[in-house]
Chains A and B, each alone.
Chain A
Amino acid sequence: MLLLTTAVIAILGYLAGTRRALALSGGRSSTMHSRPGYYGSFVAVWTALPALLVLAAWLIISPAVINNVVRSDFPAEALAQSSATQSLNFGMIEGIARGLNALSPDETAQAERNPGDLRALMGGRGVAIAGDPEPYMVKAAIDLNRMRMLNSWGSTVGVLIVAVLGALISYRLIAPRFRARNRVEHVILGSLILASSIAILTTVGIVASMLTEATQFFHAIPAWEFFFGTVWDPRFAAAGSGGSEGQFGLVPLLLGTLYIGFVAMLFAVPVGLFSAIYMAEYASPRLRSVVKPLLEVLAGIPTIVYGFFALTTVGPFLRDISAQIAGLTTGNYTSFIQAQSVLTAGFVMGIMLIPYVSSLSDDIITAVPRAMRDGSLGLGATRSETVKRVILPAALPGIVGAILMTASRAIGETMIVVLAAGVAARMQINPFEPMTTVTVKIVNQLTGDLEFTSPQTLVAFALGITLFAITLCLNIYALYIVRKYREQYE
């Protein structure tokens, strides 16, 4: 509602500003520095922007202020309680405050006199309260309601005043020599910078939050035990039991991650690369225009769906076929590939990665100048000789970059692994056995009823930041290679 009013004022400001500029110009637009629309926009910006800033500041600051005021009115014995209990009390007051809004004035008065009735009264109105309120809580709740009411009126009036003031001041500023156009451009520039910095700031925020939690974890568990420990056994310790009995060795998880990623790349790179070569060098434009989007559809399938595929189709298939092979060779029909295994996960993940490899490589191969192809073909080389000896060497750095980018996706993949490779953190080299990865364990550690401050939970953040560091390095290296390659031809 408030936003709508501000918007209306801004629009009015725009119209008024435009009209004033038109009036000032007296029909000859050359007398004004900017076109009338810019003066209008200038007024609108000056109306909306300060008002919105004031509103934002108000929304951020006022709850904290109100909270403090209410708490300072707590009786001494309530203030003496632990901060957690105080938070609970405050939550209850908020609940009561909401409930009071549903009561009639008479009932409110009754409740104030006799807090014991409150629960029953509110229950009648369909508002539940956690426990029997203490007398000071009812009073505090009434205060809270009053302050909130005041606050909302105050903010409305304040914002509207600022909006109107902004409109008036900027309206006054309109003059023939006034450079409204440049001012408006500045605002646009500012908003563009803001938009682009949001993504970066978010990244910084994510890293910071992971770092703080990870530091907490490293207080409980020494870093070297985490990074070099070879046993992963977090032991879901109960709250308050010290919690550090478990062993948090990163090595088995990291090995699992790299192993499964490696198997996935083993499938994805040759298939993806070959399909990219076919698309770029051999396919007719018509076929290309059909097949390439189809291939890219693969990239849009949610990974959990690939997980189903692995769980219900690929895994059992590999298990059964391995039983057949074992039976034919040794006569003993026991499968040597388990349904959940590194091979299953790697294979399905490889299928998921094919479109990434092929699409990126395709772009890179197509970017190799036509002159290279002509030069080679003109010497009497065949298509495949040209691809093998000229185009692939020329495109190699870019392709390596594409593969590295794909690898960082493989490392970050979760859902396929959960369903296809299991959750057993083991160190072994048999691809037919289950293994697990860092991401799977992050999910494992963060789900379930666990105390949030225990190492069992915090380890997830340490894992997360390790993974983040690995993929970041891979991506930076990949970008570096790709960029270096770009410079070569332009």
Chain B
Amino acid sequence: MNMMSEAAVEKALDQKMNDVSYKMVGKDVSVYYGEKRALFDVNLNVRENTVTALIGPSGCGKSTFLRCLNRMNDTIESCRVTGRITLDTDDIYDPSIDVVELRARVGMVFQKPNPFPKSIYENIAYGPRIHGLARNKADMDQIVEASLQRAGLWNEAKDRLQESGTGLSGGQQQRLCIARAIAVSPEVILMDEPCSALDPIATAKVEELIHELRSNYTIVIVTHSMQQAARVSQRTAMFHLGQLVEENDTDKMFTNPDDQRTQDYIMGRFG
């Protein structure tokens, strides 16, 4: 009887898993920086066309996990990743996967706006150019315009496409970086505290943008702001000391979390 119910529960869980489609699946992901272990067997799945927020106190491993998703950790000399992460069905750490191609599918927006010291046009055209996405100038113009439109920057930038991207305001620079990421048509966009260097008005614009992008892209966002996580995300994952504490619907997470630590963190008792 008891056994039966356990099997039934498992079956039910399986069913549930089949209902939602997972874009990326992380299984037993551990990360080491040299001798130091930064992530402990994290199992976290990212749903398609959903905004997933990663929260937790500083140094809890949320950025580290994010950077595993497009293998940006590879650029750090001493970093070692174990476990398995799949994008659709591909194991992204498989030797046969080209990291360059992976990063074209999984784009990234960084904490500090980092436009290249080139014109706005060239900033957007950079990605499509290296991936050969545009056949001619007209194609490229179209990609640039579409990306800027999507990033909500077109109206502000259309008259100054040839001006330097570094001349924009902080918020505009960050939206330029998002436009730059969109331009290579990724499937997933990773955002590492994209608003931490912005003022409230620019933050509101970026959040609005994230909201709109959700219909076309799968987004994973790391944030320090609980309100931001609540505003922009549908799923929230809470990290603490390198471990995944809880992953749940955002609404449930902020009203009735399963784990005491999540409750404490959200209430501001630590972190």
Contact = CB atoms under 8 A, between A and B. Distances in A.
Interface of A: 284-285, 369, 371-382, 385, 389-390, 393-394, 488
B107 A378 contact: yes
A285 B112 CA distance: 26
A385 B132 CA distance: 13
B100 A394 contact: no
A-side binding surface: helix, strand, loop or mixed?
helix
Contacts of B75: 373-374, 377
B172 to A, nearest CB: 16
9 contacts: A369-B114, A373-B75, A377-B72, A378-B70, A378-B103, A379-B108, A379-B180, A380-B131, A488-B117
Interface residues of B, number: 26
Nearest to B118: A393
Nearest to B75: A377
Contacts of A389: 126, 130
B19 to A, nearest CB: 32
A246 B26 CA distance: 86
A488 B181 CA distance: 24
B195 interface: no
Contacts of B32: none
B127 interface: yes
A417 B30 CA distance: 61
Interface string B178-203: 00110010000000000000000000
B35 interface: no
Contacts of A381: 100, 126-127, 130
B14 interface: no
Interface string B153-182: 000000000000000000000000100110
Given A371-B110, A385-B130, A377 B103 contact: yes
Given A379-B130, A379-B181, A385-B130, A372 B72 contact: no
Contacts of A488: 117
Given A378-B108, A380-B131, A393-B117, 12 more contacts: A285-B77, A373-B75, A374-B72, A374-B114, A377-B72, A378-B107, A379-B103, A379-B130, A379-B180, A380-B100, A381-B126, A382-B100
Contacts of A380: 100-104, 107, 127, 130-131, 184
B33 interface: no
B114 A375 contact: yes
Contacts of A378: 70, 72, 103, 107-108, 110, 181
Contacts of B181: 378-379
A371 B114 contact: yes
Contacts of A379: 103-104, 107-108, 126-127, 130, 180-181, 184
Interface string B127-156: 100110000000000000000000000000
Contacts of B102: 380
Interface string B99-123: 0111110011010101111100000
Contacts of B112: 371
A392 to B, nearest CB: 11
A378 B102 CA distance: 10
Contacts of A372: 114, 116-117
A490 to B, nearest CB: 13
A375 B130 contact: no
Contacts of B130: 379-382, 385, 389
